[in-house]
Amino acid sequence: MTVLTGCSVRVLSDMAVGAVAFVDRVSGSWLSGTSGNGEVRAQELTILRRLALASSVALFAVPAGLSFITSPAVALPAGVATVCAAFLFSAVGSIALSRQRPASQSAEAVIVEHRDLMLEAAFGLVLLLDPQGNVTTVGGRDRPEFLSWMRDPTGRGLIEQIHVSDRIVFLQAIDALRQGGDAFCVDLRLERSAVIGSDQQFVHVRVELTARRDAEGRLTAIVGQLRDISQDQQLREDAARKTAEAESANDAKSRFLAAVSHELRTPLNAILGFSDILSGEYFGKLENNRQREYVSLIRQSGAHLLSVVNTMLDMSKIEAGRYELLMEAFSIEDSIATCEAMLALQAKEKGLTLSSRVQRGLGDIVADQRAIQQILINLVGNAIKFTDAGGAVTVDAALADGMLKLSVGDTGIGIASERLASLGQPFVQIQNDYTRRYAGTGLGLSLVKGLVALHGGSFNIASSPGEGTVITILIPFDGSGVTAVQQPVDVNRPVDFPPRLKHTVEISEGRKEEGMDGAAKAKIA
């Protein structure tokens, strides 16, 4: 009996081993055909073995169970069919799931690897922050350089190192990302852990914040990238300081010119007045012609100096934005004739021909007559001064596309092309202080350019050495260019003296335009 039992067990064991071998052989053949690369995984074989074992048991249990419900003739085929179908579905589903799981795991591993690579290779200091602004991870290509002067930024360490007045800016950026923003950039000052030598206590950095969100759009993390902008900040501060110094120097220069001009004009008027009395011999005859000559020289020198002072005062007013324009209609032909009458004697004494050509039916121009007269006198006077005997000076006036075109040409010494750019700057002349043989302050063209600009016009000069010079100005014929560059005068507003620069003058927005008599309008630069 014992021998029979042992033989039965051995037979059953051999049958089980044979069944497992059969299952492995069939499963391996099927798996190698479905994997695509001919490889068979042990995990998949294990799954099929378990399913085969469960199915072999179910082949007896399911038909037996169904036989209690229906007849054995129906229960047997129905049970076998059900078990086979369940085996196939279970095998296919289990194998598919087992093959997808490692792929997703490898993809996640690749993502993690790429994230770590970017965290280490990105320039500057890279920080990963949670939605509350706490630092969780520190990386970046320049991490050693940053950590050499700053404390550990993890946790609340970064916020604690930010300058007190900049913390609110940083927290506002974090809040903007929490409210749905994708990216934010802020400039912060971080405190050094230790100040050595000439190091500044705070380092200027630019922080680029980028939000990371989940599938539902919730903020999960923030990527912060820090870049040291201390040098850029230093350059900006230097530029701002130099600009302020230049503006201050320009302001001081304008005030100085205005003050000097004001203080000089009072005694000059007295000199001119008393020299006129002496030359007229109202209080007694002069004893000889030499005295009369000296009095005449005093009168001429005083008049010249007064002209220079008036030009300096006009220039300071233009630069300070305080030059007033009185807009009115007048004949440009009359202004040119007046200029010719004033300078005809000077041209004749030098042996020059002074002539003018005015377009017929030109009509009246709307501008500041005194400024236009001054422009003509300065241009024609310069042309006469720099033209030798036998030359010619011409003045042309015409209307072109709604613009008054004034041209003053001469056959004088001309100007080199490299000097044209500097011409028109205050106190700049064609010749230097050692070689020049023409008197003057170099303010004439500068004043002309300023007056033309106040009228909304343009200034152009063309010249060649030895061939002469032609200066052309264009001014809106109807005075429309003035409104674009000037503001109405408020007669109730106190006027500062010496005048201030334009950008320092605060103009009240509520002031009202004052009415003007006739066609004249007062304007201020």
- Tell whether 225 and 343 lie within a shared domain: no
- Tell whether 195 and 112 lie within a shared domain: yes
Q: Is the pLDDT of residue 102 over 70?
A: no
- Tell whether 88 and 163 lie within a shared domain: no
Say if 344 falls within a structural domain. Answer: yes
Q: pLDDT tens, 258-280?
A: 677 677 878 888 888 888 888 88
Domain range for 185? 108-234
- Tell whether 194 and 175 lie within a shared domain: yes
Instruction: Round to whole Å and give the CA distance between 276 and 298.
Output: 10
- Tell whether 56 and 138 lie within a shared domain: no
Torsion sign across C-alpha atoms 128, 130, 131, 132: negative
- Tell whether 359 and 470 lie within a shared domain: yes
Q: Angle 145-150-155 (CA atoms, 0-180°, nearest 5)?
A: 115
- Tell whether 341 and 431 lie within a shared domain: yes
Half-sphere exposure of 197 (CA within 13 A, CB side): 1
Indicate the average pLDDT of the chain. 76
Q: What is the mean pLDDT of residues 230-244?
A: 89
User: What is residue 504's DSSP assignment?
Assistant: G
The pLDDT assigned to 99 comes to 63
Give the helix ranges, DSSP H, for 162-287.
Answer: 164-178, 230-280
Say if 48 falls within a structural domain. Answer: yes
Say if 381 falls within a structural domain. Answer: yes
The pLDDT assigned to 408 comes to 93
What is the pairing mode between strands 403-410 and 125-129?
unpaired
Packing angle between helix 230-280 and helix 289-320, nearest 10 degrees?
150
Say if 351 falls within a structural domain. Answer: yes
- CATH number of the domain where residue 372 is located: 3.30.565.10
Instruction: Round to whole Å and give the CA distance between 364 and 478.
Output: 9
Domain end marker among 219, 234, 249:
234
- Tell whether 66 and 162 lie within a shared domain: no
Reported confidence tier of residue 511, pLDDT bands at 50, 70, 90: very low
Instruction: Round to whole Å and give the CA distance between 383 and 372.
Output: 17
Reported confidence tier of residue 13, pLDDT bands at 50, 70, 90: low
- Tell whether 143 and 30 lie within a shared domain: no
Q: Is the pLDDT of residue 396 over 90?
A: yes
- Tell whether 335 and 445 lie within a shared domain: yes
Say if 128 falls within a structural domain. Answer: yes
